[in-house]
Structure 1
Amino acid sequence: MVAIAIQRAGQGLLQARRLAQHAEALGYKRFWVAEHHNMPGIASAATLQGQNWLSVDSSVAGYSDTKSVVSSFTRTGGAVTIQTIDIDTGGMNLFDAGAGATEVGIIDGLRDATGAIAAAGFSIATLDISALTNSAADLATLETYILGADSALSEMTDAATDLGSTKSRIGLQQDFVKNLMDAIDRGVGQLVDADMNEESVKLQALQVKQQLGIQALSIANQSSQNILALFQ
């Protein structure tokens, strides 16, 4: 879910960059990047196990960029131990409602003229080129916005790479657990088959005993009748 949301937000940001370049080339005066592509909605909907890594509020008490994800478990002597992977989600935050000096979102963080995160400048989330003209100053401003979009895209690519690496690690554990469960199922199936064979042999033996008993009773009855016939 989180990786998909980052991918969708990245696609929206890439399209926004292309529109900005188009606007720069043709003198268009339109579009609002974040709202036009609904990035806030995409980020807010990206929830994993009740947690949102893309849209956060770092000012909340107890907030931490480090998240723990269950990766595997072991069972020794009947005791189950859960192993987790710690993930630094600081570089994955697209929006941070409580952004400060050290905590910023990729989309709503402030950027300088080079497009890098800074203490002051413009934000991808709120920039608006609708009032820009074809003047040299406005075209320079538009170029700055494009640099900011490029930087944000690069940061989102890094975030997606980190998520992909984590997903691969968890996937390996899932494959191991699946193979282990398949092996256990096969073992249980073989035990059940063995028990069924044993019960089948017991049932056949019981049926033979019953048949022998019936035949013995029949022979005994016939012998009695033959003896009685001698006295008639």
Structure 2
Amino acid sequence: LVAAREPGVDKTKIDKELTELKNQLVSISESASFSGENWLNNDGAAASGTKEIVGGFNRDSAGLVSITTLAVNTTSTTLIGTTNESLGLLTKDIDADALNPDTTGTAVNYYLIDADGTATTAGSATAIALTTGTTDAQVDDMIRVVDSILTQMTDAASNLGAVQKRVSMQEDFVANLMDSIDSGIGRLVDADMNEESTRLKALQTQQQLGIQSLSIANSNSENILSLFR
């Protein structure tokens, strides 16, 4: 869109790239499914609401187990609203005039993606698309709307990132706890081979010294007996 603001540029060629980028966004949103859940694409008429995921497995000193869950507001992470386009960050109407520092007070609504093939709000919204007749003022409005969408997507991504970090921290904690338990059990049941080897060598040395002492004692007794002969 910034490139389309340059004088003399062919806006129709830039629009072809915009169209493919939009298609890629739709593909990513529709493919972001796991276990029947999709937090980026909402094909229902109502907001997807809050979802809960397991965030921790806790066992207290008495051996009692509790599960910690994390609440995620997936309404704020929805990118595509298939049935109700006002639910998606990429499909809802955004007033470009409200984002203009020189606002006129008259709403100028734009939407980025048309998910159901019809205008989001008939007669009031305009698709972010370029034609040979698109004016510089319209391109400026489109840039403001896209910048607003990027800001909202950054906020949504930060929320998901915080949840992902919490789950990752719990995963690392459990892994470290398992390593500590394995190490503690190992100290109880596994012998220290270096220590045992040193102890064995000490016992063997003591045994050899004992044998030599007996040998010396026997030889001394024979020498004493030879004096009486």
* TM-score greater than 0.5 by the shorter chain: yes
Unaligned runs of 5+ in 2: 100-106, 115-126, 194-229
Residue in 1 that maps onto 2:27:
41
**Which consecutive segments of 4 or more residues in structure 1 shift more than 4 A?**
76-79
* 1:23 has 2:4 as partner: yes
Between Structure 1 and Structure 2, the one with more helix by share is 1
What's the offset of the Cα at 1:69? 1.4
**Hey, what's the Cα distance between the residues in 1 that align with 2:129 and 2:163?**
38
Q: 1:138-171 CA distances to partner (integer Å, 9 max, x unpaired)? A: 2211111111100000001111111121122222
Quote the RMSD (CA, aligned, Å): 2.9
Residue in 2 that maps onto 1:123:
111
Residue in 2 that maps onto 1:168:
165
TM-score, normalized by length of structure 1? 0.62
Pick closer, same or farther for the CA change 1:184–1:114 going to 2, 3 Å: farther
What's the offset of the Cα at 1:75? 2.9
**Hey, what's the Cα distance between the residues in 1 that align with 2:48 and 2:77?**
13
**Hey, what's the Cα distance between the residues in 1 that align with 2:77 and 2:16?**
22
Pick closer, same or farther for the CA change 1:142–1:132 going to 2, 3 Å: farther
Residue in 1 that maps onto 2:146:
149
Say whether the 8 Å CA contact 2:96–2:108 is kept in structure 1: no
Say whether the 8 Å CA contact 2:32–2:40 is kept in structure 1: yes
What's the offset of the Cα at 1:58? 3.7
Unaligned runs of 5+ in 1: 1-19, 198-232
Bigger relative contact order, structure 1 or 2, given CA contacts below 8 A and separation 6+?
1
**Hey, what's the Cα distance between the residues in 2 that align with 1:54 and 1:64?**
10
Say whether the 8 Å CA contact 1:115–1:147 is kept in structure 2: no
Say whether the 8 Å CA contact 1:33–1:124 is kept in structure 2: no
Residue in 1 that maps onto 2:174:
177
**Hey, what's the Cα distance between the residues in 2 that align with 1:55 and 1:33?**
23
Query: Which deviates further from its counterpart, 40-49 or 69-78?
Result: 69-78
Amino acid aligned to 2:10: Y
**Hey, what's the Cα distance between the residues in 2 that align with 1:161 and 1:130?**
31
Which of 97, 100, 118 is the aligned partner of 1:114? 97
Amino acid aligned to 2:87: V
Count of paired positions = 169
TM-score, normalized by length of structure 2? 0.63
Residue in 2 that maps onto 1:73:
57
SS at match of 1:176: helix
Residue identity over aligned pairs, in percent, reads: 32
